[in-house]
Amino acid sequence: MIEITNCTKTFGEGTPNMVVALANITLAIPDGQFLVVIGANGSGKSTLLNGIAGAFIPDTGSITLDGVDVTHQPAHRRARHIGRVFQNPFAGTAPTMTVAENLRLAALRGLPKRPLLGLNRAFRNQLRSRVASLEMGLENRMDTPIGLLSGGQRQALTLLMATFRPPAILLLDEHTAALDPGSATTVMELTERIVKEKKLTTLMVTHDMEQAIAVGDRLMMMERGAVAMDIQQAEKSHLTVADLLARFAGKR
């Protein structure tokens, strides 16, 4: 359970560029929920995810994860429990390292004591079978530098890495937005499968209204750092893209 209580975050306080990115936001996300977050540019979506990840200390309010107050806990201490995928397929992986080497890092990430595991045969086979589960044929490219793969292939691997050891929370920030439509669909299907299989508590930001309706079990719209709409599965399933666009228009 993620509990965000009365959180405010202002950037550039006291300057002409001052912006209230989070405006006294209160939000509870139960375990295993898949929450989709939409909202205009600058409405605070990324700031919300960054706040959960610990990129900053909120000006007011608190954040608890599974009952533990992490408001003042630095990002690196939370990282073990949080998987993240960003818009840019080039973030989150090391381009000159091979698929196998990148996965090895993901497999070892957050272990209290890093065993000096090399890429022995058994470990390689384990990594290979995980890659095969993506059903993209990438298990045959384990020794290819990840930077040589397409954006979609790379984003699928980033997702696999972010969830390699299932995190308590998965944060996806427009992670399909930079991909061509076919790759975006593949990565989205993969996302739904992984979230479901591992029962991950997930926040996903998207600008794709069809995706926002089809995916997840709760939909929230942000506006100027606050929650402008928050609906559960039952109501969400009746929405159309036109309904959502109308709600956007009504907010302007």
Ligand X SMILES: Nc1ncnc2c1ncn2[C@@H]1O[C@H](COP(=O)(O)OP(=O)(O)O)[C@@H](O)[C@H]1O
- Per CB under 6 A, residues contacting ligand X are 11-12, 19, 21, 39, 41-47
* Residues 38-57 close enough to bind Mg ion by CB under 5 A: 45-46
Does residue 201 bind Mg ion (CB under 5 A)? no
- CB closer to ligand X, 226 vs 231: 226
Q: Is 196 left (phi over 0), alpha (psi -120 to 50) or beta?
A: alpha
Smallest gap from Cβ 90 to ligand X, in A, equals: 19
Residue whose C-beta lies closest to Mg ion:
46
Smallest gap from Cβ 156 to Mg ion, in A, equals: 21
Residues 6+ apart with CB under 8 A from 65: 1, 2, 52, 78, 81, 168, 169
Rounded Cα distance, 153 and 57, in Å: 34
- CB closer to ligand X, 124 vs 224: 224
Smallest gap from Cβ 224 to ligand X, in A, equals: 9
Tell me which of ligand X, Mg ion, none is bound by residue 11, counting a contact when its beta carbon lies within the kind-specific cut-off of 5 to 8 angstroms. Answer: ligand X
Chain residues binding Mg ion by CB under 5 A are 45-46
